[in-house]
Amino acid sequence: MSDTTLPAADRSPRFPFVTVGAALGVLFTFLFLMWLVTTREKEADAQRAADTKAEPKPDAATKLDEVKARNEAALNGVGAKMSRDEARGKLLARLKGPGDTMPFPVPEPAQPAAPKKDEPKKDAKEKQ
């Protein structure tokens, strides 16, 4: 029997039609999407310009002041169970105790008792 397939060295490489077609498809899809975005931006800019002429925007400083006032009211307990300062005090009181279960803040270490002035230091007696 004769083998009709050519060895690997004798076969000439074929043109990658699928790869080239996929690359061109991606290229034209990208170009179409870029064109679409640029035309939509022009339409959106024109619409924004028409909207700004219709009604003036409120001053940014007054809006910022309103937001700050709402935030401060929320932190001070308006609509909350307790104010921020009360909650912080309650939490810190619980954390500084011996039954501290939270990882923050670290409880303060116990201070060693200061030596009494009446008793001389042991090191001074031993050196003499």
- Residues 42-74: tens digit of each pLDDT: 887 777 777 666 666 668 888 888 999 888 887
Q: Where are the beta strands (DSSP E) in the chain?
A: none
In this structure, is the dihedral angle defined by the CA atoms of residues 3, 4, 10 and 14, taken in order, positive or negative? negative
Q: Could you tell me if residue 33 is left (phi over 0), alpha (psi between -120 and 50 degrees) or otherwise beta?
A: alpha
**Span 17-43, pLDDT tens digits:** 999 999 999 999 999 999 999 888 888
User: What is the residue extent of each domain of the chain?
Assistant: 17-55, 58-96
Rounded CA gap, 127 and 121, in Å?
10
3 state SS of 43: helix
